[in-house]
Chains A and B, each alone.
Chain A
Amino acid sequence: MITKSIIVENISKRYRIGINENTHDSLRGAIASWIKYPLSNYRRLRSLSKFDENGIGNDIIWAVRDISFDVKEGDILGIIGRNGAGKSTLLKILSRITDPTTGSIKINGKISSLLEVGTGFHPELTGRENVYLNGTIIGMSKKEIDKKFDEIVEFSGVKKFIDTPVKRYSTGMSVRLAFAVAAHIEPEVMIIDEVLAVGDIEFQRKCIGKMDEIGKSGRTVIFVSHNMSAVLSLCKSAMLLEDGRCTAMGRTEEVVKKYLGENKKLRGEAEDNSSVPEGKKLKIRGARLLDEHGVVCSEFNLKEKISLEIIFEVIVPGRGYNVDFKVISLNYGNVFQSNYLDVDVDNKRYQYWEKGVYTYRIDLPVDIMRDGDHYIQIVSAVPMVEMLDVFDYELYFRCIDVDSPEVKLMQGRSGPIYQFLPWNKVEHSDSKYSQFENTHRSY
């Protein structure tokens, strides 16, 4: 019998984003408003949780609207969508952090949600104490932690420092310890945010490996991500959110294709001039694709030179920053990935980044690239430590099949890359190859 783990019925969530603060250009106006300030402030703060008040409806947004779905036991459902599509809100509702405005959700079995790792970690406590504190916060009992403690410490790789206060840990160590705790919860239903799958490649691989394991163990998982290749490899079904509504639901491949297709408009250049949120250390400002003449372009002839330019701004000077991009083919998925540390890693790893805007140019390996539509995702992180920025815009470009003899030869081949391989002759003899004859005969 197939039982349903999660049944979601018509949930919606409404937020008030707060009425704009007034600005005054005269001293008189400013003073007058200072006098009225407490009263208007009280109204403004109070209205954050009130919806039925006299018609000031322009600041209400529906973050999630009328979403219904269910997840069978043991399924992994991926939720995808652009930034601001309502993924985080849906996740928060499913995790019971915030109540839905309407609708209901039934969840069968013990549920755990991981929207971040290391909730409740305190720098003054030792690793051991933090494991217990964080473990109980994310829903384990003390007994369970006792039982798994050695395993958790082993997984984290910080055994030697387990009785040292966490403030003496490197950031990477505490993230590993926090993840180790999270990796050992065993709920029947699990809700995971993509923030878990960022960081450097090794850490990502570890997270995704663990999630794969969780999925295979028969637990139900809801996984929210930007990372299409992770969704494709982990999830059997997926849901696409757009503007708070569910616009596609079904087999992962189809939903991902729809999501990518929707944004398929070719774009060789993107800029992000938005203001920098507080605490941001690095922001990716722009990216563009250039042809061999240095002109912005989004359609290239196959095998023609393509350069990618990435522009980013270092806001807080520091060390260890890395920028990474991925080229994904709409037909074949991930083609390749590259990051700043690719060449000369020993020097670059400890490079000190001064404040300022940097522009880097990378020549794409056109020799191996095939025809079709591609897109490029750019992120920045301090490996093993923290995510710095995800570039909100993707570049879309098309490689066009041209009528050259070289390209002709490649048509009809399968696989995500095109590559001519040299065939080196080793031997040629007149007589028949006896061994081959034998095997042939034996059939």
Chain B
Amino acid sequence: MSKSQQKITVIEPKSGWQLIDWTELKEYRDMFYFLVWRDIKVRYAQSVLGVGWAVIQPVFSMIVFTIVFGNLAKIESDGVPYAIFSFTALVPWTFFSGSLTASTGSLNAMITKIYFPRLILPIASILSKSVDFGISMVVLFGLLIWFQVVPTIWILFLPCLIMILMLTSLGFGLWLSALTVQYRDVRYGLHFGVQLLMYAAPVVYPASLVPQQYRLIYSINPMVGVIEGFRSALLGTNPMPWDFIIIGTISAVVLMLTGALYFKRREKFFADVI
């Protein structure tokens, strides 16, 4: 054993606020990888449709929305078929709501048995959802071809939008997972909350329906910028909504930073109160 490169662990009562310990996270990258992979594999184990479920959920939502909101309520869809209009929003939205559910339940009894950076659990649970996201993106491009919609040049901006989406999901995920350890209510309220939240984002209606004076408050929800950005890039209905995106990005970053801080601060109590 070479003593020179031995690492020294110091265990002390931690005080105050500290941010993410990246070197430690890096040490645990293999665990991270296997956790993500376990989530993915387990989700589709012993099911007939397997990964098909990743497609079914947004596609069926799309069909129902198209019938109810598109045909019956006749909500306008910025001039493209309502089906593709809503599906473009449903792809990021399904990822977002799925990540929230997954990360809320991610801190399990394992944390009372062994040490590892607790951050791994919510992050891994969100990353495992990105496989579903990738698959539904493929379906989305299939639909674009089917409806003969030509994406704009802003399609190159899509990775940035996806980054904002991830950041938002992670921010929410960190808050919710840390809260739910102590307050089970979070888990019970989540399903309901996500449903309500959907109406606070332009999933079933275009953001252009929102009155001008509320636009600023509306754009605090980072999902507004992401969804409208997706529509603008892929459907070309509106110019890129920079106001939504910039304000949304700021609130996503704030959410993420405060989430990480709160998580770090609560971390030491997880094993005691879970």
Query: Which A residues form the contact surface with B (CB < 8 A)?
Result: 3, 15, 42, 45-46, 48-49, 92-111, 113, 115-116, 119-120, 122, 124-125, 129, 132-133, 136-138, 140-142, 165, 188, 218
How many angstroms between the C-alpha atoms of A100 and B13 in the bound complex? 5
The segment out of B39-47, B60-68, B91-99, B145-153 that lies at the interface is: B39-47
Which of A15, A49, A94, A138 has the largest number of chain B CB atoms within 10 A? Answer: A49
If A49-B269, A99-B268 touch, whether A109 touches B1 (CB-CB below 8 Å) is: yes
B272 touches A98 (CB 8 A): yes
B12 touches A104 (CB 8 A): yes
User: Which of B210-266 touch A at CB < 8 Å?
Assistant: 266
Query: CB within 8 A of B13: which of A102, A120, A132?
Result: A102
If A92-B271, A97-B114 touch, whether A136 touches B14 (CB-CB below 8 Å) is: no
A49 touches B11 (CB 8 A): no
**In the complex, chain A residues whose CB is within 8 Å of the CB of B1:** 109, 188, 218
**In the complex, chain B residues whose CB is within 8 Å of the CB of A95:** 114-115
The reply on B55 being an interface residue by CB < 8 A is: no
B41 touches A96 (CB 8 A): no
**In the complex, chain B residues whose CB is within 8 Å of the CB of A138:** 114
**In the complex, chain B residues whose CB is within 8 Å of the CB of A99:** 11-14, 268
Nearest CB in chain B to that of A50: its residue: B269
Which of B33, B113, B183, B268 has the largest number of chain A CB atoms within 10 A? Answer: B113
Looking at the assembled complex, report how far the CB atom of A265 sits from the nearest CB atom of chain B, in whole angstroms. 35
If A101-B13, A133-B34 touch, whether A110 touches B7 (CB-CB below 8 Å) is: yes
Nearest CB in chain A to that of B31: its residue: A136
**In the complex, chain A residues whose CB is within 8 Å of the CB of B71:** none
Query: Which B residues form the contact surface with A (CB < 8 A)?
Result: 1, 3, 6-14, 28, 30-31, 33-35, 38, 41-42, 45-46, 110-116, 182-183, 266, 268-269, 271-273
Nearest CB in chain A to that of B183: its residue: A45
How many angstroms between the C-alpha atoms of A132 and B14 in the bound complex? 31
If A49-B269, A188-B6 touch, whether A113 touches B13 (CB-CB below 8 Å) is: no
How many angstroms between the C-alpha atoms of A142 and B113 in the bound complex? 21
If A104-B12, A124-B41, A129-B38 touch, whether A141 touches B30 (CB-CB below 8 Å) is: yes
Nearest CB in chain A to that of B44: its residue: A124
B30 touches A107 (CB 8 A): no
Query: CB within 8 A of B42: which of A96, A97, A107, A124?
Result: A124
B10 touches A105 (CB 8 A): yes
If A93-B11, A132-B34 touch, whether A45 touches B271 (CB-CB below 8 Å) is: no
**In the complex, chain B residues whose CB is within 8 Å of the CB of A137:** 31, 34, 110, 114, 116
If A97-B113, A142-B30 touch, whether A107 touches B9 (CB-CB below 8 Å) is: yes
Query: CB within 8 A of B115: which of A49, A97, A102, A165?
Result: A97
B34 touches A119 (CB 8 A): no
B46 touches A105 (CB 8 A): no
20 A-B pairs with CB atoms under 8 Å apart are A15-B272, A49-B182, A49-B266, A97-B113, A97-B115, A99-B11, A100-B11, A101-B13, A106-B10, A106-B11, A109-B6, A111-B9, A113-B114, A120-B35, A124-B42, A125-B41, A132-B34, A133-B38, A140-B30, A142-B33
**In the complex, chain B residues whose CB is within 8 Å of the CB of A49:** 182, 266, 269, 272-273
Looking at the assembled complex, report how far the CB atom of A61 sits from the nearest CB atom of chain B, in whole angstroms. 12
